Amino acid sequence: MIGNTSNQGAPSQRGVERPGSRKMPIAVLVSGRGSNLQALIDACALPDFPARIVLVLSNVADAGGLARAERAGIPTQVLEHRLFASRQAFDAEMQRRIDASGAALVCLAGFMRLLSPEFVAHYAGRLINIHPSLLPAFPGLRTHERAIAAGVRFAGCTVHFVVAEVDAGPIIVQAAVPVHGDDTPDTLGARVLDAERRIYPQAVRWFAEGRLTVEGKIVKIAAPPAAPGAAINPPTEVRPQR
Ligand code: GRF
């Protein structure tokens, strides 16, 4: 069923906008449990956060993310892709609904659908995604399993602008986490997810503050905070001699 569960009568989002608010309206697309969505909901509840969620849209009717949005009083919509004749038709309807919401930024948060070139082009420069690897390593699925099998010492996550090629757009922010010798995809995934919840709201904040510009493959951040020094895993036991 193509549903619209917009809950106009629900309590308003905690700490968020009123009509005329200067917070940037954003839409979040989800297919699953929605822990990244929750991080965005929590961030948007902060009085000084410069964005507000105006729509959570899912292609999966029982996605956990929808319940999280409803609890926060955010309008939700369900649009089941299998009821559309083509990817283009589904994406066009999704685009119509997102644009009707007034969203200025679209955040993919575990949205498990490939997007048509038309959809990606329509939102060029205002469509971002979070991916559970240190791109360009391990694009695609089963990232934690593949990172462990490759023997890498660090895994992580990436927030990036979306381009036509999957998991290939300009990188906004990344977090690295160590891979432990006894990690399973689940234990590594949990560590990465913790980092995801930190970097996605940060990327949205920078975008909404107008601090991001894209030059080719490179994202420039106006007045970025200083990065810490090298992370080494396993930690070194030898100190360089001067
Ligand atoms: C996250 O690992 C995200 O990086 C990937 O899909 C997963 C979604 O998890 N794109 P959740 O629905 O946010 O909990």
Q: Is the pLDDT of residue 4 over 80?
A: no
Angle at 199 between CA 193 and CA 200, to 5 degrees: 85
CB neighbours of 214 closer than 8 A, spacing ≥ 6? 125, 161, 170, 220
Mean pLDDT of the chain: 92
Q: Given pLDDT bands bounded at 50, 70 and 90, which one contains residue 19? A: low
pLDDT for position 35:
98
pLDDT of residue 18: 55
Asked if the model's pLDDT at residue 129 lies above 90, the reply is: yes
Longest Cα–Cα distance in the chain: 69
For the segment 186-201, the average pLDDT, to the nearest whole number, is: 98
Residue ranges and CATH numbers for the domains of the chain are: 1-123 (3.40.50.170), 131-223 (3.40.50.170)
The answer to pTM > 0.85 is yes
Judge if the beta carbon of residue 33 lies within 6 A of ligand 1: yes
Residue 26 has pLDDT above 90, yes or no: yes
Q: Please tell me if the CB atom of residue 156 comes closer than 6 angstroms to any atom of ligand 1.
A: no
Name the β-bridge partners of 158: 131, 174
- By residue count, the chain amounts to 242
Average pLDDT over residues 151-158: 98
- Dihedral (CA of 163, 146, 158, 198) sign: positive
Flag whether pLDDT at 24 surpasses 70.
yes
Using DSSP's 3-state secondary structure scheme, residue 120 falls into helix
Give the pLDDT band (50/70/90) at residue 62: very high
Asked about 131 being catalytic, the answer comes back as yes
Q: What pLDDT digit, counting tens, does each position of 92-112 carry?
A: 999 999 999 999 999 999 999
State the closest ligand 1 atom to the C-alpha of 193, by its place in the atom list counted from 1. 2
Probe target for ligand 1 pocket from 196, 198, 199, with the most ligand atoms within 8 Å of CB: 196
More confident residue, 155 or 8: 155
Q: Is the CB of 109 under 6 A from ligand 1?
A: yes
Determine whether the shortest distance from the Cβ of 196 to ligand 1 is under 6 A: yes
| Torsional sign, CA 80, 74, 117, 146 | negative
Quote the ligand 1 centre to 36 CA distance (angstroms): 6
Return the HEC string of 143-179: HHHHHHHHCCCEEEEEEEECCCCCCCCCEEEEEEEEC
Residue having the nearest C-alpha atom to atom 12 of ligand 1: 34
Q: pLDDT tier at 227 (50, 70, 90 boundaries)?
A: confident
DSSP 8-state secondary structure symbol assigned to residue 73: T
Residue 232 phi/psi, 5-degree rounding, is: -125, 130
Q: Which residue in 121, 111, 145 sits closest to 36, CA to CA?
A: 111
